[in-house]
Copies of this chain bind each other. A is one copy, B any other.
Amino acid sequence: MAAIQFGEIEGIKEGDTFISRQEMTNKGLHRNTVQGIDGNGEHGSASIVLNGGYEDDKDYGNLIIYTGHGGNVNKKQIRDQSWDDPGNKGLLISEMHGLPVRVSRGPKHKSKFSPEKGYQYGGLYMVTSHKYKKGAHGFWVCLFRLEKISSIVSNSFDIRELSVDYKTGETSRVASTILRIVRDTRLSRKVKELYNYTCQICALRIEFNGVGYAEAAHIRPLGKPHNGKDLLNNLLCLCPNHHVMFDKGHFTINNDFSCEGISEGITVLDGHILDPDNLNYHKEHHK
């Protein structure tokens, strides 16, 4: 088998169609003709094919909730899935390492984005989160949230680093991709000011000339389907490390402010009420 290749394949563009899985394999888009995930637990997963195999899959075009591999026979879930399955571990690697995943759709995949026959390449996606969830069938499955890169950044070229020649004034862009975007809301500043830009877990205050840097983390994510609110009872002031660790489920927070996954607890000031429902939501999400 050829070495795994991430990103666009030369000669193939979004919207291109293929008669069969075999043709996709021959052209290097997806290196196997049966499995939905092309990837492994060492390098990551580079491509998925949606073709109606899993009842928990959901396809909204720019956003896909994708069920991992395993425990499925004749389209029925008969046992729990595992993060250690090579395809699933590969998608986790793609999430953590910011690797792009090619998405293709087949004729048996029920969505308005699927081709009637054959297979269609739908572009590059990023895995933005993962979840272990008990489905209606009673078994635990690994779910991945994939967002289309062109929908995260409308013109991905423009996210590259600006380069300028001070003499001629000519500007250009340096090739790069996005690993992570730290977003901020209006209320983010409030929680950071409350804690004077000091991490509520490790008390680190990153600073330059006395000016602090910290990040605000929403305990329950904003927007649908999470429906978390942009309120102080849903916000934490964290250093970048604990922000990544919290978002990726490396640790969760108990109602008594002890933590699971790390040895430290969380410092919460008088007057900063954390909504226990939000803490539980985060815990459930990262079970």
- A residues bordering B, Cβ < 8 Å? 58, 60-63, 65, 83-84, 89, 92-93, 95-98, 147, 151-155, 158-166, 169, 171-186, 188-189, 192, 204, 206-213, 215, 221-225, 239-241, 243-245, 248-250
A179 in complex: contacting residue of B65, B179, B183, CB < 8 Å? B183
**CB-defined contacts of A189 to chain B, threshold 8 Å:** 97
Q: Is the CB of B96 within 8 A of A162?
A: no
* Among all A-B residue pairs, the 3 with the closest Cβ atoms: A163-B223, A240-B240, A154-B158
A161 in complex: contacting residue of B192, B222, B248, CB < 8 Å? B222
Q: Is the CB of A174 within 8 A of B206?
A: no
**CB-defined contacts of A166 to chain B, threshold 8 Å:** 58, 65, 224-225
Distance between A234 CB and nearest chain B CB, rounded to angstroms: 13
Distance between A109 CB and nearest chain B CB, rounded to angstroms: 15
**CB-defined contacts of A224 to chain B, threshold 8 Å:** 163-166, 172
Q: A155-B155, A239-B241 are in contact. Are A184 and B174 (CB under 8 A)?
A: no
**CB-defined contacts of A250 to chain B, threshold 8 Å:** 206-208
